[in-house]
Amino acid sequence: MLEGHLNRCLNYGDELMKQTISALLLLVLLTPMLAGCQLNPSTEVHVEDIESKIKTGTQVTIQLNWTSAGSSLIGRINVNLCPLRPDHVASFLAHVENEKFDGTPVHRIIPEMYIATGDFEQGDGTGGHAGIDGTGIGGEPENWTVHPVHTPSLHHGPGVLTTGTDGNTSWGSVFLMLGEKADFSVLDDSHVPFGRVADNASLDQITEISEFNRGAGNRPRPEVHILTIIPKTIDYDIAIESCIRKAWNT
């Protein structure tokens, strides 16, 4: 009887050992697979995530040309691009690099509020496209746009460079440069700011052009065109100051 009981215990022990070994083997097989699995990343953009990846910033000088009293004049607007909107900045700079904006007209002005330009296709604010495939749709560049981004929250204010609209999308190539009397709170709800003037002289230049005489569709008279846009590298600490993180007090 004792011998039979002992044999049953040994058999039970063998079965338990087999189960244990099987479990360990399964764990060994699954570990490499589990190591490659990740949770779905959050789609929210955090300031710290962007700041950790960007070490420098970009300033662009937008040179504008018009004719007055028979003389050709050039105005310059220096803009620091906001690194917290990397896709919009990348789209803008892609067009700069490809000289898409050169010769593009200022198609609309509102006194002391804004000047609008960037439509290198139609020249009237109804054309243009993003410089990168920001939505991942592929296909021809003419269909490219950039996703609107609203985190972290940024705001509009005097001298801000912001997305324009072609009537269907606000994420193409059209952009606005804001004066001191723009409706900043309304713009916060529908546009994406991605830069700001680097100096008071540039804000004064925006104001001066916005006060030109206007023709049909609020087009400036005389005609104003982008001559060229010249980028240069600046310190990140300077670039980040172009991002307005609090609602502008008017």
For the stretch 2-53, pLDDT in tens is 444 434 444 444 554 445 445 544 444 444 433 443 333 333 445 444 444 4
Look over the chain and give the mean of its residue pLDDT values, rounded to a whole number. 81
For residue 73, the enclosing domain spans: 56-242
Can you give the pTM of this predicted structure? 0.76
In a domain, 134, yes or no: yes
Q: How confident is the model at residue 136 (pLDDT cuts 50, 70, 90)?
A: confident
In a domain, 26, yes or no: no
For the stretch 117-133, pLDDT in tens is 999 999 999 899 999 98
Q: How confident is the model at residue 196 (pLDDT cuts 50, 70, 90)?
A: very high
In a domain, 237, yes or no: yes
In a domain, 24, yes or no: no
Q: How confident is the model at residue 69 (pLDDT cuts 50, 70, 90)?
A: confident
DSSP 63-98: EEEEEETTEEEEEEEEEEEPTT-HHHHHHHHHHHHT
In a domain, 42, yes or no: no
Residue of 172 and 213 predicted with greater confidence: 213
Output DSSP code: residue 125.
Answer: S
Give the number of other Cβ atoms within 10 Å of residue 238's Cβ.
13
What's residue 189's pLDDT? 81
Domain count, the chain: 1
Q: What is the Cα–Cα distance from 187 to 155, expressed in whole angstroms?
A: 8
In a domain, 40, yes or no: no
- Output the domain CATH number for residue 77: 2.40.100.10
Q: What is the Cα–Cα distance from 227 to 169, expressed in whole angstroms?
A: 26
Residue of 55 and 100 predicted with greater confidence: 100
In a domain, 192, yes or no: yes
In a domain, 160, yes or no: yes
> What average pLDDT does range 203-211 have in this prediction?
97
Any idea which residue has 């063998």 for tokens? 14
Q: How confident is the model at residue 147 (pLDDT cuts 50, 70, 90)?
A: confident
